[in-house]
Amino acid sequence: MSFASLGLHQDILLQVQNLGYQTPTPIQQAAIPAVLAHKDLMAGAQTGTGKTAAFALPLLHQILSTEGDNPCAIQVLVLTPTRELAQQVHASFEKYSANTSVQSVVAYGGASINVQLDALRKGCQVLVATPGRLLELIMKNLIDLSCLKTLVLDEADRMLDMGFIIDIQRILKKLPETRQTLFFSATFNDEIFALSKTLLKDPQLIEVDNRNTTATQVEQTIYTVDKNRKSALISYLIGSKNWQQVLIFTRTKQGADELAKEMEKDGIATQSIHGDKSQGARDRILTDFKHGKVRALVATDVAARGIDIEQLQYVINHELPYNAEDYIHRIGRTGRAGSTGIAISLVTEKERYLLTDIEKLLNEQFIPQWFPGFEPDLNNIDQPTKRREPSKKELRAKALGFSSSKDKKTKRKRR
Ligand code: AMP
């Protein structure tokens, strides 16, 4: 199948060609005709499958086909869980509409609302926003969504995880009821289905991969290693294999900062990115990472959403996530749109249950390995730190002045 056979506007086709996209990815092949047919969509696709173009290209086509109707009105609204993803989606719309007069604006919290308002006032057909900031704009009557034709919920699973459900419900009340709704989620569970039911009318279900699967192009390796040797192993892997542009996940913001410091000490240019850093700082760090000024980026799950680096090859999990579904999102940062990727996860013996959760979710079994020189210390593995309480029998023996069976064995050996 070619892009031309999908019947997209010629200005879009030209741009797709300029970008070097040769064939539509499976999600694009399935979603583009459905969107063009004005169907509601429930699409299971993780980041890296080309899902942004799967909705952006046909929606741009629709805008171009009705050009002249009301050129300054917002026709497409894309809701994303994070500012990074919002920026990413906005950048994609700008990229795909470069040959056209279509304008996209992005609005998210943590940045000046006035700058965003100025952009809105100039007029746009596409608005990409995070729920909190959009709600603020709606409640202050600063935005007109009465001409909206399509709502896209991108990474709906993450929006629910981040507690945006109330915000989303409040936003929905302010949108025209007659509209097309496109629902994208990397993972599915009952909560996701419940939300989709309230939003979609007779949706077309599209699943390009099995539900809850990882990107197939990613080679996944698990190393069992002691907690106190994890950062050394990461630095060693990056240094000895000469890896550039490595994205590393930690569970906590503090953990991200600590790991980045350790790696800097090991001579690897590293930065951390998480919710405690200002938007400006996060943008700067991401740009430095994209341009190779920073070799390793340590991120928390939330901060890493929306990081789209075309050739990102390496993802390392310093710790496995508590939520098994996050594993899919994490390793989906690499192996994007057909390229291959490597995902390494470091696991202590105590964290093995998290691996079991992931195996259950993916219906796949991993064989953890030891990395030579970083083998776990078997003497330390899950040794209870507290001394073992003596049994009743041992206490009685002690009280009566008898030696325990262990003592007897040692005495016998000594002889
Ligand atoms: P996404 O899943 O939307 O985050 O897209 C992942 C990456 O794939 C982005 O960097 C896109 O530029 C790229 N991409 C999207 N569609 C195609 C395509 N048909 N051929 C090649 N690359 C693509």
CA of 29 to the centre of ligand 1 (A): 13
Q: Note if the pTM is more than 0.75.
A: no
CA of 50 to the centre of ligand 1 (A): 4
Closest ligand 1 atom to 22 CA:
20
Which residues have C-beta atoms less than 6 Å from ligand 1?
21, 24-25, 28, 47-53, 308, 310, 336-337
Determine the Cα–Cα distance for residues 324 and 356; give it in Å rounded to an integer. 9
Nearest CA to ligand 1 atom 16: 50
Determine the Cα–Cα distance for residues 274 and 294; give it in Å rounded to an integer. 16
**Neighbour-count burial of 385, counting CB atoms closer than 10 A to its CB (0-12 exposed, 13-18 middle, 19+ buried):** exposed
CA of 318 to the centre of ligand 1 (A): 27
- Tokens read off for 324: 């098994």
- CATH architecture type of domain 218-382: 3-Layer(aba) Sandwich (3.40)
Which pLDDT score, from 0 to 100, does residue 295 have?
95
Q: Taking residues 398-403, report their average pLDDT.
A: 48
For the structural domain made of 4-207, what CATH number should be given? 3.40.50.300
Which pLDDT score, from 0 to 100, does residue 215 have?
55
More confident residue, 52 or 392: 52
Question: Please, what is the average pLDDT of the chain?
Answer: 85
Q: Which residues contact 225 (CB under 8 A, 6 or more apart)?
A: 233, 346, 347, 348, 370, 371, 374, 376
Q: Taking residues 121-132, report their average pLDDT.
A: 95
Which pLDDT score, from 0 to 100, does residue 406 have?
42
To test the ligand 1 pocket, which listed residue (94, 96, 308) has its Cβ within 8 A of the most ligand atoms? 308
Question: pLDDT grade, residue 410 (50/70/90)?
Answer: very low
CA of 49 to the centre of ligand 1 (A): 6
Q: At what angle do helices 324-331 and 352-362 cross, to 10 degrees?
A: 80
Q: Reply yes or no on whether the pLDDT at 412 is more than 70.
A: no
CA of 35 to the centre of ligand 1 (A): 18
Interval 317-350: pLDDT, tens: 999 999 888 898 888 877 665 567 899 999 998 9
Q: Which of 145-159, 293-307, 353-367 has the highest mean pLDDT?
A: 145-159
To test the ligand 1 pocket, which listed residue (78, 96, 336, 340) has its Cβ within 8 A of the most ligand atoms? 336
Which pLDDT score, from 0 to 100, does residue 158 have?
84
Nearest CA to ligand 1 atom 11: 50
Nearest CA to ligand 1 atom 15: 50
Nearest CA to ligand 1 atom 10: 310
Task: Tell me the backbone φ, ψ of residue 38, rounded to 5 degrees.
Answer: 65, 25
Nearest CA to ligand 1 atom 21: 21
Question: pLDDT grade, residue 154 (50/70/90)?
Answer: very high
Closest ligand 1 atom to 25 CA:
19
Q: Taking residues 393-404, report their average pLDDT.
A: 50
Q: Taking residues 176-186, report their average pLDDT.
A: 93
Q: Taking residues 167-187, report their average pLDDT.
A: 92
Beta-carbon neighbour count of residue 161 at 10 Å? 18
- Tokens read off for 267: 């001579």
Interval 256-292: pLDDT, tens: 999 999 999 999 999 999 888 888 888 899 889 988 8
CA of 25 to the centre of ligand 1 (A): 8
CA of 54 to the centre of ligand 1 (A): 9
Which pLDDT score, from 0 to 100, does residue 209 have?
58
Stretch among 268-272, 364-368, 386-390 having the lowest mean pLDDT: 386-390
More confident residue, 106 or 383: 106
- For residue 182, what are the β-bridge partners? 41, 152
CA of 52 to the centre of ligand 1 (A): 7
Which pLDDT score, from 0 to 100, does residue 386 have?
42
Domains of the chain: which residue ranges?
Answer: 4-207, 218-382
Q: Reply yes or no on whether the pLDDT at 148 is more than 80.
A: yes
**4-207 matches 218-382 in fold:** yes
- Which H or E run includes 282? helix 279-290
> How many residues does this entry show for the chain?
415
Beta-carbon neighbour count of residue 179 at 10 Å? 18
CA of 316 to the centre of ligand 1 (A): 22
